[in-house]
Amino acid sequence: MSKLRIRVDQDKCQGHARCKSLAPELFELDEYGNAHEAGDGVVPAGLEDKAWLAQTNCPEIAIEVTEE
């Protein structure tokens, strides 16, 4: 099965924090509440659904999910 990788586009993220609420394991918030992918952005096995859920709920369409 292919591996997923996420990336938060810092030019687009406005800190709605929907991703952090839906997939806390995959995102980190900075002091301003803006989101960043946790670690290198590789989605651990079993968390793929959460990655897609975060992606499809971001109001700014700031989360990229790529299949590797």
Partner 1 sequence: MSDSPSASYLPEHPPVTDWVNDFDHTDPVWTEDPFPIWETLRAASPVVHTERFLGCYMPTTYQAVKEIAYDTEHFSSRRVIVRDIRPEISARAPPITSDPPEHKPAKQVLLPPFTPDAMKRLEPRVRAICNELIDEFIADGGCDAAARYTKHIPVRAIAHMLGIPEKDGDLFIKWIHQILELGIKDDDQMMSGVREMTGYFMAHLEQRKLEPGNDLISQLMRAKGPDGQPLSDDHVLGSLRLLLIAGIDTTWSAIGSSLWHLARTPADRERLVSEPALMPSAIEEFLRAYSPVTMAREVMKETTISGCPVKSGNMVLLSFPAANRDPAMFPDADRVMIDRKENRHAAFGLGIHRCVGSNLARMEMTVAIEEWLKRIPDFRLDPAGKVTWSEGTVRGPRQLPVLFGKGS
Name the site residues for partner 1 (rule: CB under 8 A).
Answer: 14-18, 20-22, 29, 31-33, 53, 56-61
Q: Which is nearer to partner 1, 4 or 20 (CB)?
A: 20
Closer Cβ to partner 1, 32 or 40, answer by number: 32
6 in Cβ contact with 51 (< 8 Å) = yes
Distance CA 27, CA 7 (A): 9
| Phi–psi pair at 2, nearest 5 degrees | -75, 160
Q: Smallest gap, in angstroms, from Cβ of residue 3 to partner 1?
A: 23
| Min separation Cβ 29 and partner 1, Å | 6
Q: How far is 49 from 3, CA to CA, in rounded Å?
A: 12
Residue 18 C-beta: closest distance to partner 1, Å: 8
